[in-house]
Amino acid sequence: MIEKNSSLKAFNSFSIDAHAHLLFHFQQLSELPQLLALIKKTRAANKPILVLGGGSNTLFCNDFSGLVIKVELMGITQSENNQDYLLEVAAGEDWHELVEDTVAQGIDGLENLALIPGVVGAAPVQNIGAYGVEFKDFCTSVDYIDLEEGTLKTLSNEGCLFAYRDSIFKGELKARALITSVSLKLPKQWQAHCRYGLLQGLDETESSVSAQQIFDSVCRIRSEKLPDPKVLGNAGSFFKNPIVSDNLSEQLLSHHPDMPHYPQHDGSVKLAAGWLIDQCGLKGKKIGGAAVHLQQALVLINEDGKATASDVIQLAWHVREQVLHKFAVLLEHEVRFIDAQGETNLLQVIENV
């Protein structure tokens, strides 16, 4: 249950080799007293604490000097009423397997979120989303352990402060909350969502498209563009799709009329980070063992399995600077950078490379 100087290579989809001073496999809520005692001891030694799910959105920049809590809580409870299917899903469950199982049962709604890597507990942190659908659209509440107080708490959808790839778990509750489960509500009156990206070829009328068709299409599209982490180490989309002012968007469109752009409700415009990177001619760009994926410029890969964190960091910085120079758009990384003392950012780690 507790390991010392344990390798984290198998617990991050980049397959970057790093070690944790202590690794705790959190598999049952009954282990909470033991975990809290370990947390207290770690803090007394002035060491950092990291909650780790599937490691699909994580880059370990160095060995971690403190306690890594690997969340492996499992279990799904399912019920329904006249209007909705209700699911309570433990944080350690695989997200894609949840989507696949629900669609197979005729419980529709999550199909657009197929093949997003990681575990269920990470979904609310990032407010994961794809093809016009986000986690927040179905979440009713999130249960978590307050690591400061040692108590179990629940947040409503509104309390989670969901935004684009953001939530309270990346803000006020960052490093304080360990998510144990999420509650989802999937309406029986299902509505197809096919107006985004490559799904636009599907007809949204309920009579001609099914959730299974959307699921299959999403899986096919993502498989063609996104590398399997088991084959090529990666953390999925490395950068967020930037949101810019309408004025900047119009300026860019005057020079690049084919630029993908998606107007937002507040008047801002979301751009496609992958397209911006591709226009800089960066597909296939390599630094050490890290490379920009040839099929999807938004993905940085551990090409030969021997990339170091330094390789990935330098490549990410190069991509960021090239896009900034060409488009005056500053890309923000979606991937979490974990240094010896905890979460950091690209600006901080590049100084040490």
pLDDT digits (tens, 9 = 90+) for 84-115: 999 999 999 999 999 999 999 999 999 999 99
Per DSSP, 241 falls in state P
pTM exceeding 0.85: yes
pLDDT at 321: 97
Residue type, 286: K
Is pLDDT of 264 > 70? yes
pLDDT, one tens digit per residue, over 129-162 is 998 899 999 999 999 999 999 999 999 999 999 9
pLDDT at 198: 58
Is pLDDT of 23 > 60? yes
Q: Please give the average per-residue pLDDT across 108-125, as a whole number.
A: 95
Q: How far apart are CA 155 and CA 287, in angstroms?
A: 43
pLDDT at 318: 98
CA 159-161-166 angle, 5° bins: 145
Is pLDDT of 268 > 90? yes
Q: State the chain's mean pLDDT as an integer.
A: 93
> Predicted confidence band at 250 (pLDDT cuts at 50, 70, 90)?
very high
pLDDT at 197: 58
Q: Please give the average per-residue pLDDT across 47-55, as a whole number.
A: 94
Cβ-based neighbours of 55, under 8 Å, separated by 6 or more:
8, 11, 12, 13
Residue type, 121: G
pLDDT at 230: 87
CB 323 within 8 A of CB 331: yes
pLDDT at 183: 98
pLDDT, one tens digit per residue, over 155-212 is 999 999 999 889 999 999 998 999 999 999 999 999 888 866 556 666 555 457 889 9
CB 53 within 8 A of CB 45: no
pLDDT, one tens digit per residue, over 200-248 is 666 555 457 889 999 999 999 888 888 989 899 999 899 999 999 999 9
Is pLDDT of 260 > 60? yes
Give Cα separations from 18 to 2, 59, 70 (angstroms).
17, 10, 15
CB 145 within 8 A of CB 177: yes
Residue among 55, 90, 56, 67 at smallest CA distance from 4: 67
pLDDT at 7: 96
Percent of the chain at pLDDT > 70 equals 96
pLDDT at 205: 52
Q: Is 109 helix (H, G, I), strand (E, B) or coil?
A: coil
Instruction: Please give the positions annotated as active site.
Output: 165, 237, 334
Q: Which residue has the higher pLDDT, 226 or 52?
A: 52
Residue 42: both structure tokens together: 């770690």
